[in-house]
Chains A and B, each alone.
Chain A
Amino acid sequence: VITKLAAYELLAQERP
Chain B
Amino acid sequence: GDFIPLRSDWISLFYDTGHKVTSDDGSQYAFRAITTRGEYLWLVFSAGKTRGYHAETTCPHSAFAEAREALTYRRAVKSRWDDVRAVARALRRGKLRFDVLIEDAMESPLCAMGTRHFLRSFGLSGIKRISGFKLAWMMLIEPQLGFVIYQAALREGVLS
Contact = CB atoms under 8 A, between A and B. Distances in A.
The answer to whether A and B come from one shared complex is: yes
Interface of A: 1-2, 4, 6-8, 10-12, 14-16
Contacts of B38: 2, 6-7, 10
B120 to A, nearest CB: 11
A4 B5 contact: yes
B81 interface: no
Interface of B: 3, 5, 14-16, 18-19, 32-34, 36-38, 40
Contacts of B5: 4
Contacts of A14: 16, 19, 32, 40
Contacts of A12: 16
Nearest to A11: B16
A10 B34 CA distance: 8
At the interface, is chain A mostly helix, strand, loop or mixed?
Answer: helix
Nearest to A7: B14
13 contacts: A1-B36, A2-B34, A2-B38, A8-B3, A8-B14, A10-B34, A11-B3, A11-B15, A11-B19, A11-B33, A14-B32, A15-B16, A15-B32
Nearest to B39: A2
A8 B36 CA distance: 11
Contacts of B34: 2, 7, 10-11
Contacts of B37: 1-2
